[in-house]
Amino acid sequence: MSFHTTSTIRPALAVLRVLDLQECLRFYQEVIGLKVLSETEESAELGVESNEPLLRLVQLQGGEERKETAGLYHVAFLVPSRENLADVFMHLLTTGYPLQGASHHEVSEAVYLSDPEGNGIEIYADTPSENWVWRNGQVQMTTKALNAENLLSQKTKSKWEGLPSGTVIGHIHLSVNNLEKAEAFYSALGFQTVSQYADAALFLSHGGYHHHIGINIWNSEGASPAGKKSSGLDYLSIFYPSEKNRREAIYALEELGIALEERKDGIFASDHSGITVQLIIEEKDEENGNI
């Protein structure tokens, strides 16, 4: 079962402000395995398939390095299978790029690292959804050591070819300055809280997924929003299956007193931590009537 389809409210794109565009481009291509879909002197879009960029990097002019503020905790790239994750893991070990962790969460297996500017990255594969344990609307997630030897036994490729077709942004995890206000904001966007960790982290999803959005206050409670001249997350795009779904989110945000901004590239809103989201719907192919 896929939880990242045209019928699911989900994160679709992360936009990062970077201090060194070319260094970050090399990292995301050579280490992570994304492909450049389009590029200018000031920005680049990356993904695995030309019809849906997953990451946009924007060169900061006269910017400064991000400090400990609210913003991105990690962007999580979901690969289609455990075998794909084994290939990714083998590649990362071969590059020698430092990993920050490797975990089994019951609902998924994951490896963690950061890009050259400290933006967190998770690459993961889901376990079969029929094995996920739900109690009273809450999914059971744990963190234990990844069985690396068992995972690597599933690798399929002798030559690294990058992240596979079908890779998507599975979830976005954010550092926020107020957990309660952040929960209200992302609930208004259309996500439901499905897990909680020690009163310091919440996980929200749409359509029965284990989580599309993570929020935590581990290092950011009471923190100031990052300024637009700081490197890090610029905004994230949330996909809506229809204009009706998006209008419901807009109405719920307005009920919270959240100001919305209509720009030429869409509708934007910011949470209490200053994290900005873009509310997007799939563009229809008018000639064929397809989505």
Contacts of 223 (CB under 8 A, 6+ apart): 68, 69, 70, 175, 177, 273
H or E element in which residue 111 lies: strand 108-114
Structure tokens belonging to residue 158: 């002798």
Q: What is the DSSP string of 154-181?
A: T---SS---SPTT-EEEEEEEE-S-HHH
pTM of this prediction? 0.95
Distance CA 25, CA 47 (A): 12
Residue with tokens 């079908």: 166
DSSP 114: E
pLDDT tens track of the chain, all 291 residues? 678 888 899 999 999 999 999 999 999 999 999 999 999 999 999 999 877 899 999 999 876 777 767 999 999 999 999 999 999 999 999 999 999 999 999 999 999 999 999 999 999 999 999 999 999 999 999 999 999 999 999 999 888 999 999 999 999 999 999 999 999 999 999 999 999 998 999 999 999 999 999 999 999 999 988 778 889 999 999 999 999 999 999 999 999 999 999 999 889 999 999 999 999 997 543 343 333
Structure tokens belonging to residue 38: 């389009």
